[in-house]
Amino acid sequence: MDDLPGIVVTGVSGRMGQMLAREVTASGKARLVGALERPGHDWVGRDLGACMGGAALGVTVEDDPLPAFARARAVIDFTAPAATVAFAGLAAQARAVHVIGTTGLAPADLEALEAASHHAAIIRAGNMSLGVNLLAGLVRKVAAALDADWDIEVVEAHHRMKVDAPSGTALMLGEAAAEGRGIALADNMESGRHGLTGARAPGAIGFSAIRGGDIVGEHDVIFAGAGERLVLRHVATDRAIFARGALRAALWGMDQKPGQYDMVDVLGL
């Protein structure tokens, strides 16, 4: 057991943090060697298992990232952009693999990750599930096969607590569609339609977001042509799919050189 590679989970009280801690602990492939929360959080100093309402795990929740990262081979981080940028610098310092599931990152955040990736491997994806990463490949192929008379719309639905839109997955799928079509997503993105919008811009890739209840994550990519419509869909019903992908990425990343990677690299798609 002691020779299993050590992993730290950040934002451990969160929806994904708890799922990740359970996945790592139950995997038999890695050891949970650290669980982080922010200073002042009421879990800090307590046993993680008890905090999650189960048996003691022998892992005390901490609030100081660097010493935790220093004893880990990998950090799995599903938190928020500002936290992820700070963790990237510290993971680079500790030479630990940084697996990033956090979405909503701004261009300046991505620049900070690029700098950190010169010192340690970073694996980042807006969706760590096998299904969505396969779907992105299908979307790229379909977009390449159809001409610009087929309108592309990405529709996503998530739980009421989600704070960013479009979702990281929707952006991944939009990027795949843009790549397939040979255009830049940034120049062709249409989202948040409201009021007298005018007609749809030719060649645009549209985004719509639904928020409600406990929806785990649903994504449709619609190719709407004249007289027919093709819909490619992924429905997540269990957050364990993301945690499983993240653990796989962490283990894979331990054999990689510093640099930036995604789930296509991890899954060999």
Ligand X SMILES: O=C(O)C1=N[C@H](C(=O)O)C[C@H](O)C1
Ligand Y SMILES: NC(=O)C1=CN([C@@H]2O[C@H](COP(=O)(O)OP(=O)(O)OC[C@H]3O[C@@H](n4cnc5c(N)ncnc54)[C@H](OP(=O)(O)O)[C@@H]3O)[C@@H](O)[C@H]2O)C=CC1
Q: Which of 113, 108, 123 is nearest to 90 (CA)?
A: 113
Q: Is 125 in the site for ligand Y (CB under 6 A)?
A: yes
Q: According to the binding rule CB under 6 A, does residue 126 interact with ligand Y?
A: yes
Smallest gap from residue 65 Cβ to ligand Y (A): 8
Out of 31, 158, 244, 248, the residue judged to bind ligand X by CB under 6 A: 158
Residue (124 or 158) nearer to ligand X, CB: 158
> Any known ligand binding at 128?
yes
Site membership for ligand Y, residue 11 (CB under 6 A): yes
Would you put residue 44 in left (φ > 0), alpha (ψ -120 to 50) or beta? Answer: beta
User: Which of ligand X, ligand Y, none has residue 158 at its interface (CB below 5 to 8 Å by kind)?
Assistant: ligand X
Residue 162 engages ligand X in binding (rule: CB under 6 A) = yes
Which residue from 89, 95, 138 is spatially nearest to 109, judged by alpha carbons? 89
Count of residues making up the chain: 269
Supply the minimum distance, in Å, between the C-beta of residue 44 and ligand X.
Answer: 24
* 159 appears as a binding residue in the annotation: yes
Does residue 29 have an active-site annotation?
no
Name which position in 5, 104, 258, 259 contacts ligand Y (CB under 6 A): 104
Which residue in 105, 71, 69, 107 sits closest to 89, CA to CA? 69
Tell me which H or E stretch contains 230.
Answer: strand 229-236
First to last CA, the chain: 31
In the complex, what is the shortest distance from the CB of residue 187 to ligand X, in angstroms, rounded to a whole number?
22
E strands of 89-228, at which residues?
97-100, 121-124, 151-158, 189-191, 205-211, 217-224
Minimum CB distance to ligand X smaller for 94 or for 136: 136
Catalytic residue check, 158: yes
Q: Contact between 79 and ligand X (CB under 6 A)?
A: no
Contact stretch for ligand Y (CB under 6 A) within 8-16, 44-52, 181-189, 201-209: 8-16
Q: Hey, what are 196's tokens? A: 């007298």
Q: Which residue among the candidates 98, 158, 219, 234 is catalytic per the annotation?
A: 158
* Residue of 5, 27, 41, 254 interacting with ligand Y (CB under 6 A): 41
From 258, 262, 251, 266, select the one nearest 72 (Cα to Cα).
Answer: 251
Provide the minimum distance between the beta carbon of 174 and ligand X in the complex, in angstroms, as a whole number: 11
CA distances in angstroms from 226 to 7, 39, 80, 88, 143, listed in the order given: 51, 56, 41, 47, 16
Q: What are phi and psi of 129, to 5 degrees?
A: -80, 150
Q: Which amino acid is at 199?
A: A
Between 46 and 204, CB nearer to ligand Y? 46
Binding footprint of ligand X on the chain (CB under 6 A): 103, 126-127, 158, 162, 167-169, 217
- List, by residue number, the catalytic residues: 158, 162
